[in-house]
Amino acid sequence: MTVDYWDDLDADLAAVPTNLVLTPEPSRTTPDWTFSTITFSSIGHRGSGRYRAAGYLSIPTRPGPHPGVLEIPRHGSVNHTPHSNDRARYAILTLMHRGQRLADAPYRAPYPGLLIDGIVDASEYVYRGIVADCLRAAEILRSHPGVDSARIAAVGEDLGVLTAARRPFFRALRVDGLLLTDPWRRAESTRAYPMESLNDFRRHGTDDELVAARSTTALYDPLALAGDVTAAALVSDGSASGAALASRLGGTADTLVPTGRDRIDDDARDAWLAAQLGAPAMSRYADAMIPLPGD
């Protein structure tokens, strides 16, 4: 069922024209990069024919083509503009999926609650549309004339695994955190949201609803699709679930156990990605950071 489910999603997405609209942002454009806000069409949301997702797109002004980076949306209502160091090195697209700020009409994502929105019906689960938004954003980035299609990476939470599995043109995949991986077991050991939403559902849902919810999340568990990822991968997580994901990613994925010291962890993740894409490593700290006028 897993392959058919994702094939059906791809077919639905292919039937929707991209209708990309690019709006330049002069206040965020510098001599080193051009900056734009984009909107584009993805599959509909519960009866609507199409949904408009959004993103920030920054392209270096030096001669290209440039390595491309797709920033997978975080779990939260707001995604920040890409870091100045990344704008200087990469053609970078930061996605806002349906329900997040700039893509929250007609649907405004509930926080907490997004993780279980529509969970009893895989065809209505909100993450079906969110994954479609990620896939469409990946296509937009790859097709940009300023992007080197042989050097594209996805970075962010484990939603990136699903994206890279269904769009096998990524050279690198950096998983900076877990959300969808092994969700029910991970929820047992926390009372923090968003995973606590699953515990809420477990307490208040019926037995039939719980069976249906587990069936839906099994489709979206990156462990189920990790074997289809062809990109080099880094999993930045020290848990058993993180180790399981790394082992499914071709058996060759690198693992970074976070130290909890931001500079060390951020610099290590940055250096790994830069090496994969043939770019210089850059620290986000002290005098290594590029000033960011306009933000």
Residue 224 domain-assigned (yes or no) = yes
In the predicted structure, residue 37 carries a pLDDT above the cut 90:
yes
DSSP string, 108-131: ---TTTGGGTTTT-TTT-HHHHHH
Contact 91, 145 (CB under 8 A): no
Q: Domain range spanning residue 19?
A: 2-277
Tokens 């994206």 appear where? 163
What pLDDT shows up at residue 112?
95
Percent pLDDT > 90 in the chain is: 92
Greater model confidence, 41 or 289: 41
275's CB contacts (< 8 A; 6+ apart) are 281
Q: What pLDDT, in 10s, does the model give residues 253-288?
A: 999 999 999 899 999 999 999 999 999 999 988 655
Residue 204 domain-assigned (yes or no) = yes
Q: Which of 254, 230, 232, 227 minimizes the C-alpha distance to 242?
A: 254
Strands across the sheet containing 21-24: 21-24, 33-43, 50-60, 91-96, 66-71, 147-157, 172-177, 232-235, 254-255
What pLDDT shows up at residue 71?
98
What pLDDT shows up at residue 285?
85
Q: What pLDDT, in 10s, does the model give residues 227-237?
A: 999 999 999 99
Distance CA 234, CA 150 (A): 18
Residue 294 domain-assigned (yes or no) = no
CB-neighbour burial class of residue 55 (10 A; exposed 0-12, middle 13-18, buried 19+) = buried
Residue 289 domain-assigned (yes or no) = no
What pLDDT shows up at residue 291?
52
Distance CA 53, CA 96 (A): 6
- b/e per residue, 108-129, with b = 16+ CB within 10 A? ebebeebbbbbbbebeebbbbb
What pLDDT shows up at residue 294?
47
Percent pLDDT > 70 in the chain is: 96
Residue 285 domain-assigned (yes or no) = no
What pLDDT shows up at residue 295?
47
Distance CA 47, CA 285 (A): 46
Residue 284 domain-assigned (yes or no) = no
Q: In this structure, what token pair is assigned to residue 212?
A: 């249906």
- On average, the pLDDT of the chain sits at 95
Cα–Cα distances in angstroms (integers) from residue 225 to residues 57, 151, 159, 228, 252, in the given order: 28, 22, 11, 6, 15
What pLDDT shows up at residue 77?
96
What pLDDT shows up at residue 224?
96
HEC-encoded secondary structure of 174-210:
EEEECCCCCHHHHHCCCCCCCCHHHHHHHHHCCHHHH
Residue 295 domain-assigned (yes or no) = no
Q: How many helices (H) and strands (E) does the chain have?
A: 10, 9
Q: Can you tell me the mean pLDDT for 143-148?
A: 98
Other residues' Cβ atoms within 10 Å of the Cβ of residue 263? 13
| Confidence bin at 290 (pLDDT 50/70/90) | low
Contact 159, 180 (CB under 8 A): yes
Q: What pLDDT, in 10s, does the model give residues 88-141?
A: 999 999 999 999 999 999 999 999 999 999 999 999 999 999 999 999 999 999
> Across-strand partners of 21?
39
Distance CA 277, CA 67 (A): 6
CATH number at residue 98: 3.40.50.1820
Tokens 């734009």 appear where? 36
Other residues' Cβ atoms within 10 Å of the Cβ of residue 87? 25
In the predicted structure, residue 68 carries a pLDDT above the cut 90:
yes
| Confidence bin at 36 (pLDDT 50/70/90) | very high
Q: Which amino acid would we find at residue 11?
A: A
Residue 59 domain-assigned (yes or no) = yes
Q: Can you tell me the mean pLDDT for 186-197?
A: 97
What pLDDT shows up at residue 1?
61
The domain tally of the chain equals 1
